[in-house]
């Protein structure tokens, strides 16, 4: 039997009974850069602060005002549609591309790295630029890019941005184009982590590609799919820059999501307190999604 002496020449290890000093830097950084701003937003939500004057009193007036705003249900509905459509599409597109790349690499196809880079290129485009690029593509003028292409094959024109329903679809397409890369990276990493022996055994058992996906790939990627769902949901909830550039939230409020509504409340309305209430709401929704998935993952975790 070997007795392990945990005290080494370098001094005590972090777990030797005094972990706090080791955690202080991390706690301080988290507090300074994360908790303090969040707490300040929470404070502002209970204030009467505007961009013209600092908080002079604290009450629940701003919360009441925001919750009673008839526009809020409309905006929440728009946010729900935008988020659900994006999360579903982003997951599906990201998964498909990741599996295509993984399969291509397994078969030694050339150009897979270039393909992966091409998808990633969209990810580094700033949201505003993404919105402007798609605004040009969706331009409904007689010389608009997509409508002109559709015209060559006898289709269209499509009211990409002027019709409220199509404007939402266009906003989803623009966000999908940019955000797919993130899901693709997550799924690609997850797919690469699966032991290839499993697929080799499945092939020996004459499993079809669908069966391998259904009974090997999907179950083993399930937890990362759940994590990605949270990340993508939070990302989508926070999206406002590309919509701002693409439609500005219009026509009317057709594409005004919660993040954009928050921006407008602060910078059009000059209502810092109201904007803070909306920011807290956005934070709560994001946190709720994260906790939900954490709970689901926790239930699935096998006993040690």
* Site for another protein, rule CB under 8 A: 50-53, 61-62, 65, 68-71, 135, 138-143, 159-164, 167, 247-254, 256, 264, 267-271, 273-274
CB 116 within 8 A of CB 101: yes
**Least Å from the CB of residue 42 to another protein:** 19
Quote the CA–CA distance of 254 and 161 in Å, as a whole number.
Answer: 10
**Least Å from the CB of residue 177 to another protein:** 19
**Least Å from the CB of residue 211 to another protein:** 47
- 127 versus 249: smaller Cβ distance to another protein: 249
Phi, psi dihedrals of residue 58, rounded to the nearest 5°: -120, 130
CB 257 within 8 A of CB 240: yes
- 50 versus 183: smaller Cβ distance to another protein: 50
Quote the CA–CA distance of 238 and 282 in Å, as a whole number.
Answer: 8
Quote the CA–CA distance of 161 and 144 in Å, as a whole number.
Answer: 12
Q: How far is the CA of 43 from the CAs of 37, 57, 60, in angstroms? A: 10, 11, 11
- 94 versus 274: smaller Cβ distance to another protein: 274
Quote the CA–CA distance of 278 and 267 in Å, as a whole number.
Answer: 13
- 104 versus 251: smaller Cβ distance to another protein: 251
Give residue for tokens 């404070």: 43
**Least Å from the CB of residue 110 to another protein:** 41
- 31 versus 128: smaller Cβ distance to another protein: 128
- 75 versus 289: smaller Cβ distance to another protein: 75
**Least Å from the CB of residue 266 to another protein:** 8
Radius of gyration of the chain (CA): 25
> What CA dihedral angle connects 123, 128, 131 and 134, to 10 degrees?
-70
Note if the bond before 246 is cis, omega within 30 degrees.
no
Q: Minimal CA–CA distance to 55: which of 65, 63, 64, 45? A: 45
Task: Spell out the residues 6+ positions from residue 72 whose beta carbon is closer than 8 angstroms to its own.
Answer: 66, 261
**Least Å from the CB of residue 115 to another protein:** 33
Quote the CA–CA distance of 300 and 296 in Å, as a whole number.
Answer: 6
**Least Å from the CB of residue 214 to another protein:** 43
- 62 versus 285: smaller Cβ distance to another protein: 62
């Amino acid at each position: 039997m070997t007795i392990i002496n945990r005290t080494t020449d370098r001094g005590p290890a972090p777990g030797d009974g005094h972990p706090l000093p080791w955690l202080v830097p991390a706690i301080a950084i988290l507090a300074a850069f994360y908790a303090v701003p969040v707490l300040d937003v929470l404070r502002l939500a209970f204030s009467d602060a505007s961009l013209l004057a600092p908080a002079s009193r604290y009450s629940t007036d701003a919360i009441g005002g925001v919750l009673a705003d008839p526009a809020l249900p409309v905006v929440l509905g728009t946010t729900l549609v935008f988020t659900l459509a994006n999360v579903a599409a982003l997951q599906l597109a990201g998964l498909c591309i990741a599996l295509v790349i993984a399969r291509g690499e397994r078969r030694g196809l050339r150009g897979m790295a270039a393909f992966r880079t091409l998808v990633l290129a969209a990810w580094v485009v700033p949201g505003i630029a993404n919105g402007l690029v798609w605004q040009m593509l969706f331009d409904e003028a007689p010389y608009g890019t997509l409508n002109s292409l559709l015209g060559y094959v006898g289709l269209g024109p499509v009211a990409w941005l002027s019709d409220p329903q199509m404007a939402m679809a266009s906003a989803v397409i623009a966000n999908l184009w940019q955000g797919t890369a993130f899901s693709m990276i997550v799924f690609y990493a997850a797919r690469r982590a699966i032991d290839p022996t499993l697929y080799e055994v499945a092939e020996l058992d004459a499993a079809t590609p669908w069966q391998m996906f259904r009974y090997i790939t999907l179950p083993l990627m399930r937890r990362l799919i759940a994590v990605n769902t949270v990340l993508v949901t939070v990302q989508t909830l926070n999206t406002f820059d590309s919509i701002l550039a693409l439609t500005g939230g219009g026509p009317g409020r057709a594409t005004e999501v919660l993040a954009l509504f928050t921006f407008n409340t602060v910078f059009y309305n000059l209502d810092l307190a109201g904007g803070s209430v909306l920011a807290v709401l956005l934070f709560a929704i994001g946190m709720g999604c994260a906790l939900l998935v954490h709970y689901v993952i926790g239930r699935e975790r096998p006993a040690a």
